[in-house]
Structure 1
């Protein structure tokens, strides 16, 4: 007789008079001489038919260990285990030559049979991959909307005669709605389930896309953007939680990272769609915005046939349904141990207002701080690195393609390097990239072309111009920092540049007068006059291109997907919905903040100063990650909770789990049977 207790990820079976131990691995089972312990990694104890035999079924290492006793006929049963598993044969010798009889501690050891377990058939994860792909269509919707708004705006602006305020409102309305409804999603996904919340998100997104596509005026278009933001808010918060709660621990990070991959796919698809319809000046934007409803409809239909999160089902007392869902998505019937862990976590569920319970629970509060911090740095860096709106629609496909391909690196490495290391490497790459960008802009500013203030500028009526632009600045960099001014220069003649007052034209900003005016015959003709609004001609453009490419390569595998992956793992089940909702709100809130402050920063502290500022934020983010973010790779969602506890609390929590999981193993030899294990 004895007990099996769980220590960490192992089950240790203790028997009173056993002179050897069995050490399991994925490919071999070694029987080693020792005193009183059989150590079977990741095994459970199950009753077997006939005699007094007990089965130990491998939960992790796919082995089956049978200890026979009582009936001599059963004890003499030969093992069917293949060579290499170290199985004991019926003559008392192991398949690799070792015999328990040779042990000085036991000359009458009985037979131990080891067989490969059939509990975990290979190829059983097809359904969970299918489930994850349908779930992360929500990421594709998010990415498509993010990318399509810039392409469609080039057609929307002249069609509806949108001024700057309306353009900013149409873009920002979606972000603001997403931030608000990400918080609301924390309540709905706990109340009605993850599945139904995602279905609501896809339905709302599809409706919003239709509203935008048929919008007769800018007011209806704005309403459509808000509706789409509601769908994005629901999906961005719920999809990572649903995937994390459904996926096995060893591939959970990879599957959650698929969400970021689909975001980049959505961005890439949006750039292609925008290019395809860019020549349809009057109706192209309707197709761009309306087509977003197609993936939303596909996701809604697909989720009619997908199961609810098993952990949410347990939280609602629907254990039988949770068991069936686990069997379906794991591909085998041996799910009792996992279900038991979920039930134990649910038994510790806090009561009352969840947010207040999060604030009162130290280790969960720490997890929330970690999650919100990751999303702050992620959102800040992503928005700051935005692509210039002056790029041609098709040219945007290039960085979007790099972003898409680089995300595969994250999917490949997330379970190999771990979340924390991948995030730190990503931060380092972004710091270097931002440094390159800052130096490039600083060199451009230092070597900025001069403004020729000796040139006399005349209005069409031959009146001399003496406004603030023509008289106040001596170099191009100072000129363009004033949004009322632009730089007009001759590409072939140095020292011929002038700072002129800008005005809004039919399609872009022009000079109010002179050779770079909207109706002049000189601009961009054989005379070589070029109007630069918001930038200066420079020989250091390549540094900006290099820095941007390096930034995308660094951001996409780490800072892009890892905050979403880690946030879906670090909260206990009772706080997962609310915790993710708050962290997602932080993501959208800082998206909105940076959108409204970036141009102001570039005007106040210069462009290179802004990039140095964000490089400094990256350094803070790297420090934050090293100090506060734990590694969650290969840990169950229930085990991750312990990572944020104090050492004393962690030990207490583990003792409670070990006490709950104690198992008694009995061996009852028949009268006259002197066989010993």
Structure 2
């Protein structure tokens, strides 16, 4: 039986996943800061949506840049650049002198988020043995939700620090950014990228550190076979007939993960709970509960993704959210305090299914030779969908009523369930090379 050096594998996976922590920080910090930003800058629903969604616009640029950096220079330099951007943008947001400066800094933060959202799960997938890959890639989602929870706790602790509390909320992001920069310096390069660019000895050394000589030899044979004849790759290759079906599945799953609507609960809890009469303190406290539930069920998902499998969890998540959103819509319509309980149920459902599992699938369904470019396109679409969701929510809530928006998200979840049932195949336990024959026709 193959024995792996799990301590080494875990350490490099957690360091790479610090990008996920910073993703979670920039994603969550706005929820606590919005009540202060509304007062500071006099935001209406359009500027509120744009200030929140500007992160996604930067993330789109980050995804495009990360795909090129990952394929040309390697995964490690891309992670280092993302860490640097996180640190600089956190300080820029904290010291923003006006709304324009703040939005520009949040856009730049989005570039780092986009790069990390692509490169962290890709890196972990490429260093992980097949039987552990789902659990290892889920570490990235775990650090995202840790970032969300810790940020929500800090936001709540700063709630009574005066009108400039939001500056501390954003500025504290420089601390984990510095830790990420230090960690990336220690990381090895992805062995699959090293073999792709002809650095066989370095690739072999990394694989041996993960699983020993036998694992290294067998992995190298599979990687070389999958890369044979495919050394020169451009974005055009992603749209070739043999690859595009897998790319389309990745794109639809990425878009669905956002348009399913759960991120309005993460980003706009103050709006939602204010609509049922909650105070500002209660609004911030609810973000802590949301972060705690998110963390618990993400940890549970890490143990289930390689046992139950990706497809059953995705099907469960889509259908359960569709049902929960109908209940939430009805409770919002009558301004019932019970809405909080069902919102937490929706968070838990997402955290055990669509949240982590979508990232696992995106990291593993693309062929080796186009993984960087294909992943960047899928994640780019994910961030585009996130911008659409976060920009439109305050506007839709004002135009048609907050409860009606949740009916829309329920309908989207039904469509997502039907797509997953028809197109998504199970991937657990298969090597990245074996999956090429599952998702790409020959």
Name the structure 2 match of 1:365: 244
Paired residues of 1:189 and 1:197 also in contact (CA < 8 A): yes
Paired residues of 1:202 and 1:297 also in contact (CA < 8 A): yes
Name the structure 2 match of 1:380: 259
Paired residues of 2:19 and 2:117 also in contact (CA < 8 A): yes
- Please say which structure displays the higher CA radius of gyration: 1
Matched, 1:410 2:309: no
Question: Residues 287 and 610 from structure 1, CA distance in 2 versus in 1: closer, same or farther, beyond 3 angstroms?
Answer: closer
Paired residues of 1:260 and 1:561 also in contact (CA < 8 A): yes
2:434 is paired with a residue whose SS is helix
Matched, 1:305 2:186: yes
Which of 433, 447, 457 is matched with 2:324 structurally? 433
Which of 619, 630, 653 is matched with 2:425 structurally? 630
Which of 141, 145, 152 is matched with 2:33 structurally? 152
Q: Deviations over 1:484-507 (max 9, x none)?
A: xxxxxxxxxxxxxxxxxxxxxxxx
Paired residues of 1:237 and 1:584 also in contact (CA < 8 A): yes
Paired residues of 2:50 and 2:391 also in contact (CA < 8 A): no
* Higher share in strand: 1
Paired residues of 1:125 and 1:331 also in contact (CA < 8 A): no
Question: Residues 612 and 366 from structure 1, CA distance in 2 versus in 1: closer, same or farther, beyond 3 angstroms?
Answer: same
Shift of 1:441: 4.0
**2: distance between equivalents of 1:608 and 1:155?**
25
* Higher share in helix: 2
Paired residues of 1:350 and 1:357 also in contact (CA < 8 A): no
Which of 52, 57, 61 is matched with 1:171 structurally? 52
Structure 2: any 5+ residue segments left out of the alignment?
A: 275-281
Q: Deviations over 1:217-267 (max 9, x none)?
A: 333323321221111111111111100001010010001111111111111
Name the structure 2 match of 1:277: 158
Q: Deviations over 1:527-586 (max 9, x none)?
A: xxxxxxxxxxx4x432x2332122112110110011111010011111101111111111
Which of 237, 246, 259 is matched with 2:140 structurally? 259
**2: distance between equivalents of 1:152 and 1:600?**
19
Q: How does 1:23-102 map to 2 (within 5 A)?
A: 62=1
**2: distance between equivalents of 1:332 and 1:345?**
20
Paired residues of 1:127 and 1:328 also in contact (CA < 8 A): yes
**2: distance between equivalents of 1:315 and 1:127?**
23
**2: distance between equivalents of 1:398 and 1:580?**
32
Question: Residues 149 and 632 from structure 1, CA distance in 2 versus in 1: closer, same or farther, beyond 3 angstroms?
Answer: same
Paired residues of 2:145 and 2:298 also in contact (CA < 8 A): yes
Q: How does 1:368-517 map to 2 (within 5 A)?
A: 368-381=247-260, 382-386=262-266, 387-389=269-271, 390=274, 391-441=282-332, 444=334
Name the structure 1 match of 2:363: 568
**1: distance between equivalents of 2:16 and 2:126?**
12
Greater length-normalized contact order (CA 8 Å, ≥ 6 residues apart): 2
**1: distance between equivalents of 2:341 and 2:51?**
31
1:637 is paired with a residue whose SS is coil
Which of 213, 231, 235 is matched with 1:355 structurally? 235
Paired residues of 1:128 and 1:330 also in contact (CA < 8 A): no
Matched, 1:345 2:226: yes
Relative to the length of structure 1, the TM-score reads: 0.61
Paired residues of 1:183 and 1:584 also in contact (CA < 8 A): no
Paired residues of 2:32 and 2:155 also in contact (CA < 8 A): yes
Q: Deviations over 1:373-399 (max 9, x none)?
A: 111111012234442433532232112
Question: Residues 164 and 620 from structure 1, CA distance in 2 versus in 1: closer, same or farther, beyond 3 angstroms?
Answer: closer
Paired residues of 1:249 and 1:635 also in contact (CA < 8 A): yes
Question: Residues 435 and 167 from structure 1, CA distance in 2 versus in 1: closer, same or farther, beyond 3 angstroms?
Answer: closer
**2: distance between equivalents of 1:168 and 1:188?**
30
**2: distance between equivalents of 1:334 and 1:147?**
40
Q: Deviations over 1:175-203 (max 9, x none)?
A: 11112221221111111110110110001
Q: Deviations over 1:250-299 (max 9, x none)?
A: 01000111111111111111111112222221442222111111111111
Shift of 1:159: 3.5
Question: Residues 329 and 552 from structure 1, CA distance in 2 versus in 1: closer, same or farther, beyond 3 angstroms?
Answer: same
Paired residues of 1:124 and 1:332 also in contact (CA < 8 A): no
Name the structure 1 match of 2:279: none
Name the structure 2 match of 1:554: 349
Question: Residues 271 and 575 from structure 1, CA distance in 2 versus in 1: closer, same or farther, beyond 3 angstroms?
Answer: same
Question: Residues 288 and 599 from structure 1, CA distance in 2 versus in 1: closer, same or farther, beyond 3 angstroms?
Answer: closer
**1: distance between equivalents of 2:228 and 2:350?**
39
Paired residues of 1:178 and 1:233 also in contact (CA < 8 A): yes
Q: How does 1:498-537 map to 2 (within 5 A)?
A: none
Q: What do you get for the CA RMSD once the two structures are aligned?
A: 2.0
Which stretch of the first structure deviates more once superposed, 635-644 or 431-440?
431-440
Shift of 1:306: 1.2
Matched, 1:321 2:202: yes
Shift of 1:606: 4.4
**1: distance between equivalents of 2:240 and 2:138?**
31
Shift of 1:623: 1.1
Shift of 1:307: 0.3
Name the structure 1 match of 2:337: 541
